[in-house]
Amino acid sequence: MFGLNPLQFLFRVLAGADRPGEVAGGLALGFFIGLTPGWPLHILLACLLLLVFNVNLSAAFLAAAFAVGLSWLLDPVINALGSLLLEDIAALHGLWTWAYNNPLVAWTRFNNTMVMGALALGGLISLLIAVFGTQILVRYQSVWLEQLKQHRLFRLLMKSRIGQLYYWLSGGIS
Amino acid sequence: MMIRKSALALIGLTVVTTAAGFMLLRNSLIESQMEDLLTEQFKARSDIRDLNLDPFGLEGGLSGLEIADRKQPMQNLIQTGKAEVDVAGWSLLRGSLVFATLNLKDLQLDAPRKTSGALPGRKAPVTPSATKESPPSPTSEPVTTSKQEMDSAPATTPAPSTPVATEPEPSSDQGNATASSDDSSVNWKKLNDNLPRLDLAQASKQLNIPDLTQGLELQSVKQIQQAKQQNRNNIDSLKAELENDDLDKRIADTRAQIIALKARKITDIKSAEKALKDAQAINKNIAAINADYKKIRSESDRLIKNSKLHKNQLGNSIRDDINTMKQLANIRNINTKDIAIILFGQATMQKIQQVMDYANLAMKYMPESDDEEPVSRRSGRDIRFPVTTGYEPYLLVKNLAFNGSKGARQFAGKITNFSSNPIRYRQPVSLSLNSSVNRTDWQLSSVFHAESDARNTVVTLTGDHIKSQQIKLSDKKDPSNPSQAIFKDSNVLAKLDIGKQGLSGTLKLDASKLNLSFAEKARTRFDREIQNALSKPFNNVVLEARLSGSLSNPGLSVKTNIDQQLSRRLKAVVGEKVAQANRQLENHVTRSVAKELNIANNEIENYSKPVKNILTGKGKAKDELAALQKQAENNIKSQLNKYKRAQANKLKKQTQDKLKKSLKGLKF
């Protein structure tokens, strides 16, 4: 109902059918949600944002799935980053102590090295996705896609069965 | 970016539905969550039959709370009837089960279950009782008197039947804080059984010096016997020396020379001169023999004389013997320390056992501490920061009231701030407990601070005030007419450390009054005097007991001031008796020493007789030698005189003949 088919979403993006801002927003939120283990408070808030704002849900799901796998692989790095922020930077201890004693903030489980690492890394990458992703997608739709369409190989492919499949998956946009 | 109005509506709908659902299903939901939390904390199946809470305050009642014993899944750790609860809903949402109040009624401990309470996939932990062999009988256990190390008085010789406390045997489960209560109660009973029984008849026993001194070895007598043996050895050496010396040979040789001299014939002047010369040489030999004999004789006489023992040679041994005997007589007969230990040992054991039961109870029913979960992939590690505001453990009962039973024992009590993490929660835990079984009433109330993790490392219980109105102690020998020791207004200070390193603690009993009453009837005036002296109340009695070993295998040692008080009382009563006994003891020692000296000197006298005989023999031989020499000299002298006379006669005749011849030519 929300266009959950990730493959279809991918082709729609390739075909330039979706709005770049919505796609980038979905990707950023999805990545942020997927990178953090469990359901701490800030992730629930991110989910609410995902539902309330008109971002691309397919992009979010795809990004979340990708981020889950990535966080599994990067577990030691994320843990080390969380540990660095929580334990090694003395200047932050005051902030963490305040947060630890604040029941609402404590629900974020920020004191967990994995959660903190994911929050920092996911926050940074999501921000980059949100900012640069939009620009990249705009440029893709306005410049790179047009160049691609002019390519001989692309035109040959579009005339073949693959082209028909692409046409169908991208929702009739060519 | 647009807002999805439908999503907002959906979220709002979800919140309203959840709230409504919670209102309708709150009891089931909370019941389920409470069961999960209790199951997690106690690591065993926890069930609540019915829960009925007020939707806003979450106050209400529950019934049929059952928490299985994870070590013995076929019985319940706790089973309650109805209970009044006040659950903190906000904490529940955060995953903590916090009871503002919890009143448990008809609490039953160790009640059997119909089904196993073990959690699927979890094995019941092996209890020490399952791995240990049954404990040895009290009689087979090595017993040490640890009072000796604690008493300030000199080392005593306690009667064999009055050990005070047992030290724990080395055990593989030493210090296992979660030892089963059954196992530990067996050991406590064993320790209690090994305490001496009250025997007040001992206190009034007459002083009987022969009985007291029977079998005791006096040091002075021992010294006499050692000296006697030394002297015998010296005499043996002298005897061997006398038997092996060359004096006899020299006497024999000289004797032969004298005999030869005696037989010699004086035929001319030369032989006479030679005989005289030999006689002079023999005389020199005889003089040397006489000198040597005199020397040997004087040395031997001195040694034999020194072999005789005198009383003044024993120095301070006799005085020491008298003192030792007095000390032993006092201890063996009056035995105040043993009486004190006997009296207080029993009371201490009962009190300590109660405290230990309490500790055991607390340990057993303490929920699992808030352990850190093992680290796995994507789980991370929780970093703890200083708690500046209120911390909430996963399980907390701010006010817990309970009443119930365990076997024949009825109990009721209150606990405050009972939590799964008392160290972090930092609030002092207080407990008051009333329990009664078989008319032995006792009451405990204490406030303690958990200083470390109760389950995993060590629990320290500091009882600030465990008061007892009265502790009654009865001699078990005659239940119908017992001797009794009653401690009044006693105050007990207890500090116990229970953990993997073992059990250590001190328990101090401070009683304002102690009354003793006696079952034995006084047979003599002296008995009566002693009983009267001991029947007056003792004031400000202090008893200190030290615990060691482990919960399942405890050790105990005792220190008290009661022995001094008893000693003073008894001294006043038995003063004259003691003085008389002291005199008897002095006489006994002096007589024993004199008798032993006499025997020793007679033995030495007899033993030195062969030596004297040898010396006499040598003296006789020497004297014979002188007589023989005299005879030989006389013989030589007479032969010489005869020869001289013969020569004179011969000369005279020759002269006469010559004159006659000369005169024959002359004519007158």
Q: What is the pLDDT of residues B85-131, one digit of tens each?
A: 888 877 776 667 888 888 888 888 888 888 888 887 655 554 433 33
* Greatest mean pLDDT range, B263-277, B316-330, B494-508: B263-277
pLDDT at position B135 is: 33
Residues of chain B with Cβ-Cβ distance to A86 below 8 Å are 383
- Among A52, A114, A117, beta carbon nearest to B379: A114
* Closest residue of chain A to B386, computed from CA coordinates: A97
Candidates A25, A53, A101; nearest CB to B3: A53
Provide the pLDDT for residue B272: 81
Q: Is the pLDDT reported for residue B453 higher than 90?
A: no
Lowest mean pLDDT among B2-16, B72-86, B172-186: B172-186
Query: Residue A125's pLDDT band (boundaries 50, 70, 90)?
Result: very high
ipTM: 0.73
The average pLDDT across B547-562 equals 66
Which residues lie below 8 Å from residue B115, measured CB to CB, with a gap of 6+?
none
Q: How close B20 gets to chain A, by Cα (Å)?
A: 21
Is the pLDDT score of B172 beyond 50?
no
Between A170 and A73, name the one with better pLDDT: A73
* Chain A positions with Cβ closer than 8 Å to B: 21-22, 25, 37, 48, 51-55, 71-72, 75, 79, 82-83, 86-87, 93, 96-97, 100-101, 103, 107, 109, 111-117
Give residue ranges of B with CB < 8 Å to any A CB: 1-4, 7-8, 10-11, 94, 377-389
Q: Which residue has the higher pLDDT, B47 or B356?
A: B47
What pLDDT, on a 0 to 100 scale, did the predictor assign at position A126?
94
Identify the residue with better confidence: B560 or A148.
Answer: A148
In chain A, residues with a C-beta closer than 8 Å to the C-beta of B10 are: 51
Residue B560 has a pLDDT of 67
Q: Do B1 and A21 touch (CB under 8 A)?
A: yes
**Contact yes or no for B465/B477 (Cβ under 8 A):** no
Residue A73 C-alpha from the chain's centroid: 17
C-alpha triplet B27, B412, B113: angle, nearest 5°? 55
What is d(CA B186, CA B180) in angstroms, rounded to the nearest whole number? Answer: 10
Per-residue pLDDT at B301 exceeds 80: yes
The answer to whether A35 and A63 have CB atoms below 8 angstroms apart is no
What pLDDT, on a 0 to 100 scale, did the predictor assign at position A78?
94
CB contact under 8 A, A117 and B380: yes
pLDDT digits (tens, 9 = 90+) for A53-106: 888 888 899 899 999 999 999 999 999 999 999 988 989 988 998 888 776 787
Partners of A100 on chain B (C-beta within 8 Å) are 384-387
Nearest CA-CA distance, residue B9 and chain A, Å:
9
User: pLDDT: is B191 or B306 the higher one?
Assistant: B306
> Higher model confidence: residue A101 or residue B79?
B79
Lowest mean pLDDT among B148-152, B257-261, B351-355: B148-152
Q: How many CB pairs under 8 A join A and B?
A: 73
Place of tokens 């009190």: B351
Q: Residue B341: what pLDDT?
A: 46
Measured CA distances, B307 to A95, B222, B263, B304, B381 (Å): 98, 16, 47, 5, 90
Average pLDDT over every residue of B70-81: 85
Minimum Cα–Cα distance from B95: chain A residue: A107
pLDDT in tens, B589-610: 888 888 888 888 888 888 888 8
For the CA atoms of B264, B267, B271, B277, the dihedral, rounded to the nearest 10 degrees, stands at 60
Nearest chain B Cα distance for residue A159, angstroms: 37
Residue B544 phi/psi, 5° resolution?
Answer: -125, 130
Q: What is the pLDDT of residue B244?
A: 85
pLDDT at residue A127 in the model: 93
